[in-house]
A and B are shown apart, each in its own frame.
Chain A
């Protein structure tokens, strides 16, 4: 990969990630992360907050991301067993900045989640990723998911990887 990172390269990577998450290939998904990766979902009332001073919905370091995957793959993770079916659509992908081997990327998403006997739950929001260039591809260094809803409300649980 040269210095000129194209949007389509980033899109291909994000689509691949989305497919792994929707297919519940979470062990494989962990392979897309750097060894210091973080995953954040800020609170709906303060989406610009800092997780050290603001109560988030979710703020994982790599250790807890790996533990989260263990939990999600267990049949005793009741909120996600049987697994939700999810389908995510990603668009409006933009490369915001390139700083050395780090690429900051924004995208919009719609993630529809289905469980038995439930109406569809539709999560709408923005992704903001810091990708690290590794060889011919990327790894995710930071994964920030901002849900647009004023209140989490009916979206209730963020028990799967959003």
Chain B
């Protein structure tokens, strides 16, 4: 049992042992203590529109099938044949009533049950097909169409795990008049040559915005967005908070200046968009009342569900998740999320706004990737330069700022606590 942090409330210092970001042994412990114990995001109901629809992906390194069966019930199945372990579904997405292994032909119904075994009579002993359905994670639960798996049968319920984070998921889902959000077709997948935990930090670290993303701020200003000079010791144009949601979850909560598809107009959207934006706002106010409408439309929030789900409710809404592939590399997947009843023009505006900032061709994400890769390169000196300094804002009483490191410390404390169970 060891600690990777120095957390000194008297001297107001918080230091992180950089070994946590470079060690393959740490990664092995993380797979056991974190990815096998926490609720891990799998997918969204809207990705499976009809009965028999499926997608395949890797979740925490596990190949899975996320699908609807013939009745429409949603499953998460391990994509591994019970016979000799081959992947049974090789397509990225589609519609199938059954999955048939190409190796020896074992075939599974899309509720996971084993159907056919070629040459079944050759098994002399008991071959109980009812015991040989596709395996699945111990737990699989959802909150408002967000599906998570848990490999630990004894884990608390998803709802208990999410706790106060549900309030921030609600602020996303309530953007839809019917309470149904939809993952938009088209995925962004990119690797970063950096430890996966660097993406947790980066997703909520608003301290870096003015330096890493100055070209994005210039683009916003060039397009007519008013970028106020920071005042009162802030580094950002508007005030923003960092909020502890318990269980290792946290969020930023910022006064918006960057435009919101629901529903705050900025010049990038174009004059033509004004009437439709006003109508989206009017519907929102009518449905949830003026206070909550302001809450939804005039703040933006980057939410982290521990350990590796990020929902950026900013220039657009993203679902972003990422998994380690070795201590120094991660795979990132990102989707766009929008109200299911959105008009074509509103959807196009949402996607356009997404690309202004996010993704491998956005005006900001590539510079985030660069920053994280430079961190990982710099970490090569870790044995001689051991500690990362993460004390920013530690002396601050009361409200915590998004540009401080309060929320990063929440992550590291939770991570460190879980790693102590090794």
Q: Give chain A's interface residues, CB within 8 Å of chain B.
A: 41-46, 49, 51-60, 63-64, 67-68, 70-71, 74, 76-80, 117, 150-159
Listed A/B pairs (17) with beta-carbon separation below 8 Å: A52-B351, A53-B185, A54-B184, A64-B356, A67-B223, A74-B215, A78-B366, A78-B371, A152-B189, A153-B189, A154-B191, A155-B360, A156-B192, A156-B369, A157-B366, A157-B369, A157-B370
Which single member of A53, A54, A150, A156 contacts B360 (CB below 8 Å)?
A156
A55 and B212 form a contact (CB under 8 A): no
Q: Is B219 in the interface zone, CB < 8 Å from A?
A: yes
Question: Shortest distance in angstroms between B331's beta carbon and chain A's nearest beta carbon?
Answer: 7
Closest chain A residue to B333 by CB distance?
A151
Question: Shortest distance in angstroms between A52's beta carbon and chain B's nearest beta carbon?
Answer: 4
User: Most chain-B Cβ atoms within 10 A of its Cβ — which of A43, A153, A157?
Assistant: A157
Cα A57 to Cα B351 in complex, Å, equals: 10
**Residue numbers in A under 8 Å from B191 (CB-CB):** 153-154, 156
A55 and B185 form a contact (CB under 8 A): yes
Near A by CB (< 8 A), chain B positions 357-386 give 359-363, 365-367, 369-371, 377
**Residue numbers in B under 8 Å from A154 (CB-CB):** 191
A45 and B360 form a contact (CB under 8 A): no
Given contacts A46-B185, A55-B351, A76-B214, 19 further A-B contacts (CB under 8 A): A45-B186, A49-B186, A53-B184, A53-B344, A55-B185, A55-B335, A57-B188, A58-B359, A70-B218, A71-B218, A79-B366, A79-B370, A153-B190, A153-B191, A154-B191, A156-B192, A157-B361, A157-B370, A159-B360
Contact with A along B324-365 (1 / 0, CB 8 A): 000000010001100000001001100110111001111101
Q: Is B187 in the interface zone, CB < 8 Å from A?
A: yes
Closest chain A residue to B358 by CB distance?
A55
**Residue numbers in B under 8 Å from A79 (CB-CB):** 366-367, 369-370
Cα A77 to Cα B364 in complex, Å, equals: 9
Q: Give chain B's interface residues, CB within 8 Å of chain A.
A: 92-93, 184-192, 212, 214-216, 218-219, 222-223, 331, 335-336, 344, 347-348, 351-352, 354-356, 359-363, 365-367, 369-371, 377
- Which are the 7 A-B pairs with shortest beta-carbon distances? A58-B361, A55-B186, A79-B366, A159-B366, A52-B348, A43-B186, A54-B186
A-B contact count (CB 8 A): 123
Cα A58 to Cα B336 in complex, Å, equals: 13
Given A71-B218, A78-B212, the answer on whether A56 and B367 have CB atoms closer than 8 Å is no
Which single member of A51, A71, A153 contacts B363 (CB below 8 Å)?
A71
**Residue numbers in B under 8 Å from A77 (CB-CB):** 215, 367
**Residue numbers in A under 8 Å from B371 (CB-CB):** 78
**Residue numbers in B under 8 Å from A63 (CB-CB):** 223
**Residue numbers in B under 8 Å from A70 (CB-CB):** 215, 218-219, 222
Question: Shortest distance in angstroms between B217's beta carbon and chain A's nearest beta carbon?
Answer: 10
A43 and B331 form a contact (CB under 8 A): no
Cα A79 to Cα B184 in complex, Å, equals: 27
**Residue numbers in A under 8 Å from B189 (CB-CB):** 44, 151-153
**Residue numbers in A under 8 Å from B352 (CB-CB):** 59
Cα A46 to Cα B184 in complex, Å, equals: 11
Question: Shortest distance in angstroms between A100's beta carbon and chain B's nearest beta carbon?
Answer: 27
Cα A151 to Cα B344 in complex, Å, equals: 27
**Residue numbers in B under 8 Å from A150 (CB-CB):** 92
Question: Shortest distance in angstroms between A147's beta carbon and chain B's nearest beta carbon?
Answer: 10
B361 and A159 form a contact (CB under 8 A): yes
Cα A153 to Cα B188 in complex, Å, equals: 9
Cα A33 to Cα B189 in complex, Å, equals: 29
Question: Shortest distance in angstroms between A46's beta carbon and chain B's nearest beta carbon?
Answer: 5
Closest chain B residue to A49 by CB distance?
B186
B351 and A45 form a contact (CB under 8 A): no
**Residue numbers in A under 8 Å from B216 (CB-CB):** 71
Question: Shortest distance in angstroms between A125's beta carbon and chain B's nearest beta carbon?
Answer: 14
Which single member of B92, B222, B361 contacts A158 (CB below 8 Å)?
B361
A56 and B355 form a contact (CB under 8 A): yes
A71 and B215 form a contact (CB under 8 A): yes
B355 and A157 form a contact (CB under 8 A): no
Closest chain A residue to B348 by CB distance?
A52
A52 and B344 form a contact (CB under 8 A): yes
**Residue numbers in A under 8 Å from B186 (CB-CB):** 42-43, 45-46, 49, 54-56
Question: Shortest distance in angstroms between B187's beta carbon and chain A's nearest beta carbon?
Answer: 5
Which single member of B185, B190, B212, B347 contacts A152 (CB below 8 Å)?
B190
User: Most chain-B Cβ atoms within 10 A of its Cβ — which of A49, A64, A117, A156?
Assistant: A156
Question: Shortest distance in angstroms between A49's beta carbon and chain B's nearest beta carbon?
Answer: 6
Question: Shortest distance in angstroms between A150's beta carbon and chain B's nearest beta carbon?
Answer: 8
Question: Shortest distance in angstroms between A61's beta carbon and chain B's nearest beta carbon?
Answer: 9
B377 and A117 form a contact (CB under 8 A): yes
Closest chain A residue to B215 by CB distance?
A71
**Residue numbers in A under 8 Å from B354 (CB-CB):** 55
B219 and A67 form a contact (CB under 8 A): yes
**Residue numbers in B under 8 Å from A44 (CB-CB):** 187, 189
